[in-house]
Amino acid sequence: MKAILLYPKFPDTFWSFKHALKFIQKRASLPPLGLLTIGAMLPADWEKRLIDVNVTKLTNDDLAWADIVLVSAMVAQKTSARELIARCAAAGKTVVAGGPLFSMELEAFPLVDHLILREAEAILPEFLRDLEAGRARRVYRAAGYPDIRETPAPMWELADLKRYATMAIQFSRGCPFDCDFCNITSLFGHRPRVKTGAQIIAELDALYQVGWRRPVFFVDDNLIGNKQSLKRDLLPALIEWRKGKSGISFNTEASINLADDAELMRLMAEAGFDTVFIGIETPDESSLEECSKQQNKGRDLLADVKRVQRAGMQVQAGFIVGFDSDSPSIFQRQVEFIQQSGIVTAMVGLLQAIPDTRLYKRLQREGRVLRDPTGDNVDGTTNFIPRMDMDVLREGYKNLLLRIYAPKPYYQRIRVFLREYHPPRVKTSLSWENLKTLLYTNVRLGIVGRERVEYWRLFLWTLFRRPALLRTAITLAIYGHHFRKVCASIDA
């Protein structure tokens, strides 16, 4: 059997980093970890090709070669997924689909021959047996949660690694919290399931052996959901593994209670974690209560962010406006919090109701759901009728983004962050690749860009005040270029 593992194209979104990737001559931020893992779960005698249309094209020769096409996609990839599936079906190929998009909208894809829903480890073997016997059903839905200690390592060899800025790896699935707008617990459960440290080290060894020396993203929705396993197993293993190795750093997602555990922050920084995404959502206590964000309530969120930064990790964060409790004052409060916190990468989105969440069910009962969500956190849309006047909400949201990503406040925020940021060790060597990026950035942002005055102010400030962090400052300046492009495209 000859199989194509097909990954649809992402639109230009906040996390696509499309405009930033040009500075480092990469095509995409991350490879499709799910498909690379599926590749390892398929029969060993199958021939396999990964076609990630974010970095390459699906050719007619590819389709002529293949017997079967396996597609995985997120909701934001819907348009591309439809086009690719139609093309594969027209070519007479058997199409198998799985992933968040198809779990949420399985009826919207009639051209898909077989749907593998929820976690593949629990159901893919049954599908493969039925396929071989010629009796495969259209829908396979996994029950329960598989033991991911049995999950094979991704087939890195299928991906053209040089086209990606970052690699992806997964330690755990599930989250102990239950925010009402989030579908993670409905998908993966409340009890975080973890791999062993030895599994992760084996996956990292395989990456290192093929020459990977760039960042690695732990895609866990909440890496610290199982603190005991993290402290006892994974972090000590990572600390030991990184000895004598250079070039690889880690980033991940975690909940705000990370700030409560000084030992955990120290271990994470020592293990090489230099960036963590945290769901702040809102500084408004009533809105936190409304969405059951219990872990964020009753805190000095600003002080929490500063503690994480001082521990050696940049805080990226998600923010939301459009809660029923929100008044028009929320836009100014969000701007003030973001600017004071030094959260440079601040993803602010309008609240969207995702199927299979408590928020969606409540709004559906109230007759307020208008359509399916877009899957794009920062596209200026919502899929339900908000309590706030829609025009006020949209205008306030658009103005909020313009204010935090305009050059002056954005570069001010970088300096606020750099004053607090104290990584345990900073590599200052300059490779030819880094030098090319620096020269291109100096021209693109420092000469051509409308932010050139702010860019050179930051460059000189960092050079004299925090010279070891110059590379970090340049990277954040590049991110700002991307964020401004994305924000300018919002038709709110």
pLDDT value of position 492: 44
Based on the domain organization, do 259 and 371 belong to the same domain? yes
Q: To the nearest whole number, what is the mean pLDDT of the chain? A: 96
pLDDT tens column, 149-201: 999 999 999 999 999 999 999 999 999 999 999 999 999 999 999 999 999 99
Buried b (16+ CB within 10 A) or exposed e, 397-425: bbebbebbbbbeebbebbbbbbebbebee
pLDDT at 116 over 90: yes
pLDDT value of position 491: 63
CATH number at residue 132: 3.40.50.280
Based on the domain organization, do 377 and 241 belong to the same domain? yes
Residue 68 inside a domain? The answer is yes
CB-based contacts of 15: which residues, under 8 Å, 6+ apart? 29, 347, 377
pLDDT value of position 87: 98
pLDDT at 279 over 90: yes
pLDDT tens column, 468-479: 999 999 999 999
CB-based contacts of 425: which residues, under 8 Å, 6+ apart? none
pLDDT tens column, 384-416: 999 999 999 999 999 999 999 999 999 999 999
Residue 476 inside a domain? The answer is yes
- Which structural domain range is residue 86 located in? 2-141
pLDDT tens column, 356-381: 999 999 999 999 999 999 999 889 99
Structure tokens at 331: 């836009």
Based on the domain organization, do 395 and 442 belong to the same domain? no
CATH number at residue 175: 3.80.30.20
Based on the domain organization, do 230 and 172 belong to the same domain? yes
Which residue, of 372, 399, 420, is where some domain finishes?
420
Residue 427 inside a domain? The answer is no
How far is the C-alpha of 239 from the C-alpha of 270, rounded, in Å?
A: 6
Looking at the chain, the whole-number percentage of residues with pLDDT higher than 70 is: 98
pLDDT value of position 430: 62
pLDDT at 94 over 80: yes
Residue 361 inside a domain? The answer is yes
CB-based contacts of 300: which residues, under 8 Å, 6+ apart? none
Based on the domain organization, do 330 and 459 belong to the same domain? no
Based on the domain organization, do 316 and 373 belong to the same domain? yes
Largest CA distance in the chain: 69
Which residue, of 367, 390, 420, is where some domain finishes?
420
Based on the domain organization, do 453 and 390 belong to the same domain? no
Which residue, of 111, 126, 141, is where some domain finishes?
141
Q: Which residue has the higher pLDDT, 467 or 490?
A: 467
How far is the C-alpha of 14 from the C-alpha of 479, rounded, in Å?
A: 10
Based on the domain organization, do 244 and 130 belong to the same domain? no
Q: What one-letter code names the amino acid at 151?
A: T
Residue 230 inside a domain? The answer is yes
pLDDT tens column, 5-45: 999 999 999 999 999 999 999 999 999 999 999 999 999 99
Based on the domain organization, do 179 and 302 belong to the same domain? yes
Q: Determine the average pLDDT of the residues in 109-114.
A: 98
pLDDT value of position 83: 98
pLDDT tens column, 308-340: 999 999 999 999 999 999 999 999 999 999 999
Residue 426 inside a domain? The answer is no
Based on the domain organization, do 9 and 56 belong to the same domain? yes
Distance, first Cα to last Cα, the chain? 48
Residue 210 inside a domain? The answer is yes
Based on the domain organization, do 121 and 20 belong to the same domain? yes
Q: Determine the average pLDDT of the residues in 290-307.
A: 97
Q: Determine the average pLDDT of the residues in 411-432.
A: 83
- Total of domains in the chain: 3
- Going by pLDDT thresholds of 50, 70 and 90, the confidence category of residue 53 is very high
Residue 425 inside a domain? The answer is no
Based on the domain organization, do 106 and 135 belong to the same domain? yes
pLDDT at 213 over 50: yes
Grouping H, G, I as helix, E, B as strand and the rest as coil, residue 177 is coil
Check if the beta carbon of residue 404 is closer than 8 Å to that of residue 348.
Answer: yes
Strands 172-173 and 193-194, bridge-based pairing: antiparallel
